[in-house]
Structure 1
Amino acid sequence: MSVVKSVPIKETGTIMGVDLGIKNIAVTSTGKFFKAGVLNDKRRQYAERRSKIQRKGTRSAHLLLKRMSKRENSFSRWVLHNISRRIIEEAKRVGASVIAMENLKGIRERTKKRGKSHRHRISLWAFSKLQKFIQYKALEEGINVQFVDPKYTSQRCSKCGSVCQSNRNGSVFRCRMCGYQVHADYNASKNIALEGKSSFLGWVVCKPAWNREPVVVH
């Protein structure tokens, strides 16, 4: 019989935002970057092997593909579990009682409508799994999880609030209004935290000290 750990939700008044992406699978509003390189490299390796095996078209090839798929999923889940654990550790370190993340529903709908590539569909699977792992680990630690509308979070300046499509150029965010320049994923994570804050008036958005550089976690 399984036992569910029940922990009262904390109310410290602090929110940490988490942005999800293809190159950096997760970036927190405290400046932690979690790279997706290991996942992407492994997916690429499996994709190349699948392509060669599929051309054979035999029963043994089909069985091999099924085994490969299981191994790939197992590896991906292991990586995502580790990333989610480190995100929870970061939330605990800064005393966050809420983790804000983007609602993936809108992203799924846009992906279906535009017929996005297999790479994007796999990324959505990884994002969904990572969010689920973060959510249940957070609740075990008494940390609430809130899902917010990601609309304009990549275009809005987290410093002055202005929205402009040209603010972002790849991984660089530079506000056309106030000149604020920072990594685009980091800016988005702060906007996600601010979106979460709007539901909790008087709460504090988690961000690093001004003299601290964002931390990249491999």
Structure 2
Amino acid sequence: PADSPTPYERYVLSESYEFRESTLRYDAATDEFYLNISTRRTNGDDEVSEDTGHSDQTVLGIDLGVNSLAVSSTGTFWQGDDYDHWCREFEKRRGEMQQRGTQAAHKALLRLGKREEAWRKQYIHTIANELVSEAVEHDCDVIAFEDLSDIRERLPHAKWHHVWAFRRLFEYVSYKAPEQGVSVEQ
């Protein structure tokens, strides 16, 4: 707008801000490109100014997904290939047992369900431990998870969000992280 400086003028061209990095992102849904620019406020002498009102905290951001179960802001990926493989294997085994229809198959199906649940819990515990270790390794004060509130309503036809336990991962990290002096937010 003519009556106010644009964000580009305010932050990139200003001597009060130091250019840090940029990323170019393509949004296939809208067929548009976005240029995200990161800047840091300086006090004019090329030194970072003091933040007023907030204590300095280092945050480890966690993005949750399907192909990569979790991605941290440090660039560490926790891939979903192994998790997806075993989910499909358990599903296949359940289907085979259900088709038999015998009492022995029913009992085996109950045992398989308990084994699958234990395997899922252990897998998510392992990722939770690694996320907390990542935060401690990088001296982070806070682990910030992507907010997936109402994900089922926003993506009603996506099958994956019924299988992957985003909330459980958040809960596991929430009780493990304070033991290491790290808080957890969504």
Task: Please give the range of the TM-score, normalised by the shorter of the 2 chains.
Answer: 0.5 to 0.7
Q: Deviations over 1:12-51 (max 9, x none)?
A: 5111100111111110001000111221111111111111
> 2:175 aligns to what?
136
Kept in 2, the 8 Å contact 1:99–1:145? The answer is: yes
Match of 2:103 among 49, 53, 59: 59
Q: Deviations over 1:153-212 (max 9, x none)?
A: xxxxxxxxxxxxxxxxxxxxxxxxxxxxxxxxxxxxxxxxxxxxxxxxxxxxxxxxxxxx
> 1:122 aligns to what?
163
Q: What is the one-letter code of the residue matched to 1:91?
A: A
Overall identity of the aligned pairs, in %: 36
| Structure 2 unaligned residues grouped into runs of 5+ | 1-54
Q: What is the one-letter code of the residue matched to 2:181?
A: G
**Superposed displacement of residue 59, structure 1:** 2.4
Kept in 2, the 8 Å contact 1:34–1:83? The answer is: yes
> 1:25 aligns to what?
69
Q: Whole-Å Cα distance in 1 between the matches of residues 178 and 120 of structure 2?
A: 22
Q: Whole-Å Cα distance in 2 between the matches of residues 103 and 31 of structure 1?
A: 19
Corresponding residue SS for 2:110: helix
Q: What is the one-letter code of the residue matched to 1:116?
A: A
Kept in 2, the 8 Å contact 1:12–1:95? The answer is: no
Corresponding residue SS for 2:100: coil
Q: What is the one-letter code of the residue matched to 2:125?
A: H
Aligned CA RMSD, in angstroms, stands at: 1.6
Kept in 2, the 8 Å contact 1:12–1:96? The answer is: no
**Superposed displacement of residue 110, structure 1:** 2.8
Q: Whole-Å Cα distance in 2 between the matches of residues 36 and 12 of structure 1?
A: 33
CA distance 1:59–1:23, change in 2 (3 Å): same
**Superposed displacement of residue 105, structure 1:** 2.3
Higher relative contact order structure (alpha carbons within 8 Å, sequence separation ≥ 6)? 1
So what's the TM-score if we normalise by structure 1? 0.57
So what's the TM-score if we normalise by structure 2? 0.66
> 1:72 aligns to what?
116
Structure 1 segments of 4+ aligned residues over 6 angstroms from their partners: none
Kept in 1, the 8 Å contact 2:152–2:161? The answer is: no
| Structure 1 unaligned residues grouped into runs of 5+ | 1-10, 148-218
